[in-house]
């Protein structure tokens, strides 16, 4: 039954109380149900035809070409708070229309990656046609006018009529989307959902990391102000991050922090707090060992089952096998590191390793006692790791293999972060 003949659709689709009180359809049911003996019939094809007629009427009213009327007419994006849920709904709507038109070739089963990609492209085109319709019409004309936005961002239409930005990195060895990203308006709801989805995928990273990930595919005007405004409203970040305090004036950086040696020549090491994994029918404590380069700020994470010297030495030799032997190790005065330093000293001075390590003299240095500001360059990374785990896991218990996978993901996210302010200039 079409929507205009169904009383139930008045409530499911929304209607004001005043309109409902005076609605003849709601009070007396459809006219053909009262005054005729023969009920009309509608086939699924008729319903689809009525929907197409409504879309055509909307196109004529707006005086726009057919391609400007897309999925936004059927689905209200403002009703969704998560990007994945919106794309899932779009896929099922497309499947419903396909199954009505092709009953013998029904599409069922789990959602595929191609369907999600098609839903993404559908909403990108819909948002561009809603927000930049005049720019698209201008670029489609035979003699386009180079307006301010078109000239600044070097806008052009690709083969599928997507609005893209022309960068000055045409010859760079990167993907085509990174060279010519899609233009998205900060006024559209889909852009807001995209920023939140990227922020969550990066374990609730900061503004710069979120912008760097978005720039790989999309161009959003005034992106830094826009992303900072949205991330201030993130409930997870507001719950776990307190107000910033005013730190004292920092002293000059030590010499080992401003040299230019090979990566991991000078390393800082520290442990996170205890984390619990599910093993059998009870929980078990594990720890994350952080090793970071003092100059490049690269991060290496290892999972330690306990805080003994033997466990730490095993993880340390794993680190040296992958990243090379450091020249200087820096740590606080924890008893684990003091014992490990004695054991390393014995190893380095032993006869069996003297020839192998005679060209690699390593020194283990400890920060002054009761001076926690000396280890600030790795304590800040420990805080970032804890925030990533808290926001990703919350209070959930996971198994050891799952936690190991998350540790590697967090390490990749930290190593991909920008160290300074990243400026993006379109021209």
DSSP string, 223-266: HHHHHHHHHTT-HHHHHH--PPP-PPPPPPPPHHHH---STTSE
Q: How far is CA 390 from the centre of its chain?
A: 16
What pLDDT is recorded for position 69? 54
Q: What is the pLDDT of residue 65?
A: 45
Q: Is 409 helix (H, G, I), strand (E, B) or coil?
A: helix
**CA torsion, ordered 226, 229, 231, 236, to nearest 10 deg:** -150
Going by their DSSP bridges, the two strands 182-183 and 282-293 should be labelled as unpaired
CB burial class (10 A; 0-12, 13-18, 19+) of residue 329?
A: buried
* Residue 239 exposed, middle or buried by CB count within 10 Å (0-12, 13-18, 19+): exposed
Residue 192's pLDDT is what? 93
> Where does CATH 1.10.340.70 sit in the chain?
130-240
CA distances from 306 to 107, 165, 282, 289, 303 (A): 51, 52, 17, 10, 9
Q: Tell me the CATH class for 258-415.
A: alpha beta
Q: In which residue ranges of the chain is pLDDT below 50?
A: 45-48, 50-51, 53-68, 348, 353-358, 426-427
Residue 411, both tokens: 């390490």
Q: How far apart are CA 193 and CA 137, in angstroms?
A: 27
Please provide the CATH number assigned to the domain covering 130-240: 1.10.340.70
Q: What is the pLDDT of residue 35?
A: 60
So what's the pLDDT on residue 204?
92
Domain with CATH 3.30.420.10 in the chain: 258-415
């Amino acid at each position: 039954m079409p929507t205009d003949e169904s009383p139930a659709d008045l409530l499911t689709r929304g209607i004001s109380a005043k309109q409902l009180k005076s609605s003849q359809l709601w009070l007396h049911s459809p006219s053909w149900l009262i005054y005729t003996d023969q009920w009309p019939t509608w086939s699924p094809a008729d319903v689809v035809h009525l929907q197409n007629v409504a879309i055509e009427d909307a196109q004529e009213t707006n005086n726009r070409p057919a391609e400007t009327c897309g999925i936004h007419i059927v689905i209200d994006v403002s009703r969704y708070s998560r990007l994945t849920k919106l794309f899932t709904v779009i896929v099922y709507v497309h499947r419903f229309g396909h199954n009505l038109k092709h009953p013998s070739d029904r599409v069922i089963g789990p959602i595929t990656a191609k369907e999600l990609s098609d839903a993404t492209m559908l909403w990108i085109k819909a948002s561009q046609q809603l927000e930049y319709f005049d720019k698209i019409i201008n670029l489609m004309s035979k003699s386009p006018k180079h307006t301010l936005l078109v000239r600044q961002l070097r806008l052009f239409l690709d083969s599928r009529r997507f609005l893209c930005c022309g960068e000055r990195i045409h010859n760079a060895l990167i993907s085509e989307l990174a060279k010519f990203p899609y233009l998205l308006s900060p006024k559209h709801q889909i852009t807001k959902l995209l920023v939140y989805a990227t922020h969550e995928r990066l374990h609730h990273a900061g503004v710069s990391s979120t912008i760097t990930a978005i720039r790989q595919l999309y161009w959003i005007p005034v992106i830094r102000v826009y992303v900072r405004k949205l991330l201030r409203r993130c409930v997870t970040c507001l719950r776990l991050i307190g107000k910033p305090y005013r730190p004292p004036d920092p002293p000059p950086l030590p010499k080992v922090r401003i040299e230019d040696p090979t990566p991991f020549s000078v390393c800082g090491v520290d442990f996170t707090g205890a984390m619990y994994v599910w093993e059998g029918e009870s929980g078990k404590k594990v720890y994350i060992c952080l090793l970071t380069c003092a100059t490049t700020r690269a991060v290496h994470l290892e999972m330690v089952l306990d805080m003994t010297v033997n466990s730490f030495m095993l993880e340390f030799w794993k680190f040296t096998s992958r990243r090379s032997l450091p020249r200087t190790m820096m740590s606080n005065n924890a008893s684990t590191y003091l014992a490990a330093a004695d054991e390393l000293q014995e190893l380095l001075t032993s006869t069996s390793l003297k020839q192998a390590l005679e060209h690699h003299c390593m020194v283990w240095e400890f920060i002054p006692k009761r001076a926690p500001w000396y280890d600030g360059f790795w304590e800040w990374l420990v805080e970032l790791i804890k925030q990533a785990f808290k926001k990703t896991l919350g209070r959930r218990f996971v198994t050891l293999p799952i936690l190991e996978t998350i540790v590697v993901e967090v390490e990749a996210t930290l190593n991909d972060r920008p160290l300074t302010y990243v400026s993006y200039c379109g021209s």
